[in-house]
Each structure stands twice: as C-alpha cells, then as structure tokens.
Structure 1
Amino acid sequence: MNSSGQAVVVILLVAVVVSTIAFSIAGSSLKNIEQTATTEETNRAFSAAEAGIEEALYNLDQTGTIGTSLNNTPLQSGALIKDVSAQDQHSLVLDRLEQDDVAQVTLDGTVSQVRLMWDPSAAMVISIIDSNYNVTRYSSKCNSALSAPFSTVATVSGKCQQDVDVTSTDRIMRVRPMYADTSISVSSNTAGHELPVQSTIVTSTGKSGETERTVQVERTVPVAPAFFDYVLFSASGSLAK
C-alpha cells in the first residue's frame, strides 16, 4: 500500500474514533439532560404533594375537614396537586412508645370498655380523667413478678391485653409504659361503638409532567406532655378544678 493509501486509512480510523467519541459525548449529554429533567419533575411533584398536605392540615385545624377543593389544583411551578384524601382513625396504634413517655386517647362517653394491647416486656400505667377532673389509675403487667399496685393481665397472641371499663363522663385516657419501650394499640371493646377520632391520615399526590409522587402524614389530636400526669396525681385520689 502506497503512502497516500495509508494516509486515507489513517484518516478514516481517526474519523471513526472521533465520531465514536462525539456520539458517546452526545449520548451522555442527552442522558444527563433526561436525568436532570426527571429530577426536576420529581422535585416539583414532591413539592406539589407537600403543598396539598399543608393545605389539608390547615383546613383540618380551621374547619375539622380537609375540604373538597384541593384536588386538581394547579400551582405556579406548573405542577398539580392531583389528589388529597383523609382517613380518620378511631383506634390508637403506635409501633413504639418509649418508656415513661405518654400516649393519650380521647373519650366521649359512647363506649363502655376500651381494650389495650402492648408488649409483655413493659408494665403499663393507665390514667383515666373524667369531666370533673377526677383521676382513676390502673397498673398492669403480664406476669405476677411485680408486687402491688401492679395487677396481672392476660397474654393474648404474645401481647398483654387489658379491657378497661370507662363511664359516660370519662374524657381522657393516658397510658405510660414502665421498664421498657413498647408497641401499643388502644381500641373500643364495645359492640357497635367506636372511639372518637384519635388521628387523621392525610395522603396527597402531586403531579408534574408524567411524574407523580405521594406524601402521607398522620395528624394526631393534641396531647398534654408526660409531666402533666404528675401535676394531676394527688395523694387524696381526686382533684377538684
């Protein structure tokens, strides 16, 4: 092969290499652009979902409902609050309640018995406050190793279970785990009657382009801090307002 032919081959090889590099760079640039666009769409969708949550929580505080005008609400960013829904929870369910912390259940006089379930590793102090601010206390554990005032309760499916009678004038039940953290559930044990709303789960979906993202939060009723129990308790067994 003469020198001119070799030069042509070299030029072709260089052209192929340059073209390959150029196409690779172009493909990488397009991919980066697509990823950037997808990230921006995702961020806008999340922001729209969060905006739906904020509006719903505001409406709950003001009116007691999330309202009906949030669905398909356009935002200045170009995103959309696609859907907002709320679901009331009439039972209190916590995956983890820390030792010596307090969970609170609202009562309204419509149920006559409440069922509590928690982990056997914890003892439970239950305080019931009525409309006259009188306090009734129960102390329970799933075995007989503890002395009074702790009473022994049944173990059902690996959980401590206690059914507590309540009256039409009882308004608040507060539960405090002792000795260990625990999961806990509190529900009505009265046929045909539920506890009042204990929390509301709000779900909001935002949309930007073809991207949708969903955010979910749980709004609980206001709870007095743990030290509130020590303020209410007295040696006489009851308090007057």
Structure 2
Amino acid sequence: MDNMRHSWTHHHESGQILLITLLVLTIATTVVLSLIGRTTTDVSISNQIAESSRAFSAAEAGIEASLKSGTTGVQTLSGATSFDVQRADIGNAAGIYQFPKKVVKGTTETLWLVDHNANGSLDEHPTFTASSLDLCWSSESTIPAMEVTVLYKTAPPTSEYRVAKGAYDPDPDGARRSANNFSTVTAATGGCGVGTNTTYRQRITFGSFFPVIDPTSDTLLMLRVQPVYSDAAIVVSTVAPLPLQGTQITSTGSSGTGVSRKIVVFQQFRSPPSIFDSVIYSQGSF
C-alpha cells in the first residue's frame, strides 16, 4: 500500500513539473516573439524615416537648384534618389488671384500692377489698365477689416509718384466703423465666388479716389493690402490680366524605393516692408 501511495505521489509531482515547464516555455516563447515583432517594426519604421529623409533632401535639392539657376524637370542624384522640379507663373492672368498664405493682421501684402524688368526693377508704363478690381477676404471669429494703399505715377508731363488710401470694414452693426471711420464694404456675403473661401468683397474703383486715378494714362504701380483686427485670406478678382507676381516652384523628391516628398515655394518679387505704408500717408506728390 505504501509503495502504491509513493508511486502516485511521484507521478503527480512529475505531472506538475511538466505543466510548469510548459507554462514557462509558453511565456518565454510569447516574450521572444513579441521582442522579435517589435524589433522588426522598429527596423521598418527606421527604414521609412530614412527613406523619407532621403526623399525630402532630394526635394530640397530641387528647390535650391531651381532658385539658383531656374532648373526644371527630373534629375537623378546619388543613391538612386531624384527630384522633379516644375515652375509656374503666379498671376499673369485674369480671373482669381489668391495670395499664397493667410495674411497676418498688421502685415502687408503687395499686388503688383506693373511688369518687372529682368533685373527686378519696375517697368513704369501702364500695364494694368482696368478701371477697377475686386478685393475679397475671409470671415474670421473676429471680423477683419482691410486697409488699401494704391501707389501710382501720374501721366506726363507731371510724372509724379502719388499714393491713394482706402479703408473698409464689414462690421455688421456699424459700431466699429463709427470709431474707425472706415467705409462699408461693397458686399458682406459671397466674396469673390464659390471656391475662394472669402465672404467680404470691396470693389476698388480707381476713378473714385481724389485726385482721380486714370489707369489708362497714369501708371498703377502696386496695390498694398493690410488686414486689421484679424488675420485674413485675401483674394483679388479681375477682368483684365494681372502682371506677373512671381513664380511657384514645386519640387518632388524620390528616395528610389517609392517614397516621395513634395516642397512648394512661392518666389515673389521683392516689396517694401509694412512700415512703408505708415510712412507714406499723403495722396499728393512725394
């Protein structure tokens, strides 16, 4: 009887050891597989980051080459990386022109109304000769107003440089306009049309300034716009072609393994700083 009890106890303990051993092996296998999977994932992420970095560097190289020498098209770099650069005019057409980015309140954007010479100087001859243009801007949580400055050169024989100013506030109840003396806007809905993401529209009629500006004989040099009270997306709509405003450069870099990255740069003509509009205040000759 004792021998039978001893034999049963021995087999029972052996069975427990086997179960514990299997459990330990299962846990160990799970941990090892988890570590292998994590390592594989980490390696994959590292490869993706490296390929993305190569593609981005190639795109940057394309931008630098285009800014330096006007390069366009596909060029292959070392290690099978490459870039494809395209250049497109900004402006130089009638219709809708949108400033490349939302304009920060208190800063000024320039819309050129004359052509530029090859050396960057202004070709001071009447170029944009339409009697008016529409200036539109977005609705924001704080309603933006807009200050406008028109710089122009009178027709011969005076040939004087002059400036005209206007200020427009779409404030719905008029309380703000009573304090700032801005004019109301042409339209407080609709902006420059569907797809422009604008709400307010002001028609800038050059003949309404005093002295009267005649775009067919006077030379319109530039239109300067500055949001007040809030940042704003700004759009201009014209029936006549605008002069060239600059160049949009798009560079797509490829790592050679299917990963690509794109960089877009807007190369606009140089314009005076925002303080220029605060210094120039008279519509008379200067």
Structure 2 unaligned blocks of 5 or more: 1-10, 92-96, 115-126, 191-198, 207-214
Within 1, Cα distance between the matches of 2:146 and 2:26? Answer: 77
Structure 1 position 38 matched with structure 2 position 48: yes
Structure 1 position 229 matched with structure 2 position 277: yes
Shift of 1:184: 2.0
1:165-191 alpha-carbon deviations (Å, 9 max, x no partner): 33452222222344554332224233x
Q: Kindly tell me: are residues 94 and 160 of structure 1, through their superposed partners in 2, closer, same or farther at Cα, counting changes over 3 Å?
A: farther
On the 8 A contact 1:141/1:160 being kept in 2, the answer is no
Q: 1:18 aligns with which of 28, 38, 48?
A: 28
Shift of 1:164: 2.9
Shift of 1:229: 2.8
Aligned to 2:61: 51
Letter in 2 for 1:49: A
Which secondary structure state, in structure 1, belongs to the residue aligned with residue 78 of structure 2? coil
Aligned length: 226
Shift of 1:230: 4.2
On the 8 A contact 2:149/2:277 being kept in 1, the answer is no
Structure 1 unaligned blocks of 5 or more: 60-65
Q: Kindly tell me: are residues 46 and 40 of structure 1, through their superposed partners in 2, closer, same or farther at Cα, counting changes over 3 Å?
A: same
Which secondary structure state, in structure 2, belongs to the residue aligned with residue 33 of structure 1? helix
Aligned to 1:171: 221
Within 1, Cα distance between the matches of 2:183 and 2:28? Answer: 84
Aligned to 1:93: 99
Shift of 1:99: 3.6
Aligned Cα root-mean-square deviation (Å): 3.2
Q: 1:212 aligns with which of 249, 256, 260?
A: 260
On the 8 A contact 2:108/2:226 being kept in 1, the answer is yes
Q: 2:247 aligns with which of 200, 208, 219?
A: 200
- % identical aligned pairs: 29
Letter in 2 for 1:188: T
Which structure shows the higher strand fraction? 1
Which secondary structure state, in structure 2, belongs to the residue aligned with residue 225 of structure 1? coil
Within 2, Cα distance between the matches of 1:3 and 1:99? Answer: 82
Within 1, Cα distance between the matches of 2:183 and 2:220? Answer: 22
Which secondary structure state, in structure 2, belongs to the residue aligned with residue 154 of structure 1? coil
TM-score under structure 1 normalisation? 0.76
Shift of 1:40: 0.7
Aligned to 1:125: 148
On the 8 A contact 1:135/1:233 being kept in 2, the answer is no
On the 8 A contact 2:106/2:227 being kept in 1, the answer is yes
Shift of 1:122: 0.7
